[in-house]
Amino acid sequence: MVGFKGHLGFKQYMPAKPTKWGMKVWTVCDAVSGYCVGFDFYTGKNGRRNPGKPLSYEVVDYLCEPHYGKGHHVYFDRFFNGVEIAKHLLSHDTYCCGTIMTNRKGLPQAMNKKLKKGDVKQLQQGNLVATSFHDKRPVHLLSSNRPMGVAEDRRPLPLVDYNMFMGGVDKFDQQLSYYPVGRPGKKWWRYAIWHLINGAIYNAFVLWSKSEHEYDVNKHYDHLAFRVDVAEALRNGFTGRKLPGRRATTQAIVAPESLDVHKVVRIVGRRKVCVLCLRDGKKTEKGYAMQSSYKCSFCDVVLCKKFCFHEYHARELYSKVYGQYCPGLHCVALQDKQS
């Protein structure tokens, strides 16, 4: 769900979702990494290709059609699963597994039989396997990618696969919710575009993390660090701040080497004394020099991560612009009174 509460003809309301109002987006993702390989905005019944088929059938068929004939395994929840769609996927060399509602057309009546805790009941027709399992509550599955059988812990094999590979879309949504892009507005298409940009950034991070690199990547380089680098690359070193009392372009206050190369990296080995804290005479309560586990990858200078890193580079930039050293807080933000 892409949250939006304004006026929109195809806006949906789903009370069970964390985001109750907004645009519904059908999504198919990689089961392990959460990489989004396909999506479709639900715009209502008017845009359906097969009006005679259930909505769940049409969604699965549309999103999986580019991947037919490759032997993929598709996992979905009980809203999408059914005997008809499972047979349709099998006809295109695509296998499926998912929970299912017992009132679906084509399921045997034996699936409704109550079981005792720990009991397993499986029925098979061709490559389709219907499974009923009672653990803390009854669970019903329909699959075509596993034969009948149980694992060592007495769980049915389709349920083992379902629990292992069902979280692809949930992982994609979770990663997008951590660092959303955009800002509040009244236009629905803005929210749609921001959703696409947010998903594209995460897909890029997945591809980047799985590709080979010419340099060693710090082990703490994560999704957030990747987004920061993307923002820095888009900003390209420009700033909107102006110098008081003089007309200066943004390029005049940005050093050429400060565009993308200054990165906070962790020091290998023991902590070392922070250069800026030593210069300002800062010490601990016991009188020891302030130490840090981080440094600037470009300057090769040990600096505290929280404050000194930005302060040090601001002072260096100030000295290059004005030709004198300023020891003030962020160089008084380059003498910008509004900051």
Q: What is the pLDDT of residues 179-206, one digit of tens each?
A: 888 888 888 889 899 999 999 999 999 9
The most confident of the ranges 95-99, 132-136, 214-218 is 95-99
Read off the pLDDT of each residue in 208-230 and give the average, rounded to a whole number: 76
Least confident segment among 197-201, 229-233, 330-334: 330-334
pTM of the complete model: 0.66
Mean pLDDT of 121-144: 87
Tell me what the mean pLDDT of segment 141-145 comes to.
88
Per-residue model confidence (pLDDT) at position 27: 92
* Average pLDDT value for residue range 161-166: 89
d(CA 131, CA 158) in angstroms, rounded, equals 8
The more confident residue out of 259 and 199 is 199
Q: For the chain, what percent of residues have pLDDT higher than 90?
A: 9
Report the C-alpha gap between 309 and 231 in whole angstroms.
18
Pairing of strands 95-99, 73-76: parallel
Alpha-carbon distance of 80 to 75, in angstroms, equals 9
What is the tens place of the pLDDT at every residue in 271-327?
899 988 888 888 888 888 888 888 888 888 898 887 788 888 778 776 766 665 555
Residue 202 · residue 29 · CB < 8 Å: no
Domain ranges of the chain: 2-178, 236-335
Most confident of 47-51, 230-234, 240-244: 230-234
- Give the per-residue pLDDT at 48: 65
